[in-house]
Amino acid sequence: MAPAASDRTPPAFAGHVFADPALLAQALTHRSAGSPNNERLEFLGDALVNQFVAEALYRHWPKADEGALTRARAELVRESALAGIARWLDIGPRLVMGPGEMKTGGHRRDSILADAVEAIVAAIYLDGGFDACRAAVLPWFAPLIAALPPPNKVGKDAKTRLQEWLQGRQQPLPVYALLHEGGEDHARIFSVSCSLASPALRTEGEGSSRRAAEQVAAGAMLELLEST
């Protein structure tokens, strides 16, 4: 039986010192470990994350229209982005899960990590109030906001942007090829190449799916093209 979350979580976490450590413990408890768990906190945290990110984008891009702001917010609050924040905060090893989820690597799964981030946001809000929560959470998103492409390019994935770059110069479209597929069933890794005929260039990318690997390879190709 897994130890209770309150026995293994510190009162300070993710930029906030918890007056009530039980809130943090609940935020880090997956439903597979029983009750109380983080499902209700996740619901509240989702709304808070959307509000904080919307405000940050509004200030970051004072001239962007509603469409660009909406697309950017969707990019920043999507599952993979929140899972990246969870990994940066090292949330995975702190999660309390049932034996089945532990065995299948649930602490590494994007969906579970993203839910935990939202639950932690709610726990901070309930523990310290709106201003304390905002102050703790905004720095998590600051690097992601700074790395956003220009407003007119937000929401377009790397493959789409690469295709538009090539079409705008009347160049042949890229060819993607699967190089390798391996790993355990719950943690597959795909390696893909992206090749251009003109100019003759080739990049590679890895991801948890073939599509994700293609996006990484396309992003690498864009960087290569824009740096030459």
Q: What is the pLDDT of residues 143-171, one digit of tens each?
A: 999 988 888 777 678 898 899 889 888 89
Is residue 123 very low, low, confident or very high in pLDDT (cuts 50, 70, 90)?
very high
Q: What is the per-residue pLDDT for 227?
A: 77
The lowest-confidence range among 105-114, 140-149, 154-163, 207-216 is 154-163
- Which residues sit in the known binding site for Mg(2+)? 42, 115, 118
Q: What is the per-residue pLDDT for 186?
A: 67
Indicate whether 108 and 179 sit together in one domain. Answer: no
**Domain total in the chain:** 2
Three-class SS state of 49: helix
Q: What is the per-residue pLDDT for 121?
A: 98
Identify which has the larger pLDDT, 170 or 183: 170
Q: Which residues span the domain enclosing 132?
A: 5-152
Mean pLDDT confidence for 83-108: 92
Are 134 and 140 within 8 A, CB to CB? no
CATH number at residue 44: 1.10.1520.10
Q: Per-residue pLDDT for 184 more than 70?
A: yes
Indicate whether 91 and 171 sit together in one domain. Answer: no
Indicate whether 75 and 130 sit together in one domain. Answer: yes
Indicate whether 92 and 180 sit together in one domain. Answer: no
Residue-wise pLDDT for 24-76, tens only, equals 999 999 999 999 999 999 999 999 999 999 999 999 999 999 988 988 998 89
Indicate whether 136 and 175 sit together in one domain. Answer: no
pTM score: 0.67
Task: Report d(CA 60, CA 127) in Å as an integer.
Answer: 28
Mean pLDDT confidence for 116-139: 97
Indicate whether 130 and 218 sit together in one domain. Answer: no
Catalytic residues, by residue number, are 46, 118
Indicate whether 86 and 29 sit together in one domain. Answer: yes
**Alpha-carbon Rg for the chain in angstroms:** 20
| Strand (E) or helix (H) holding 205 | strand 201-207
* Residue matched to tokens 């300070």: 12
Q: What is the per-residue pLDDT for 10?
A: 46
Angle at which helix 79-88 crosses helix 66-77, to 10 degrees, equals 50
Is residue 198 very low, low, confident or very high in pLDDT (cuts 50, 70, 90)?
confident
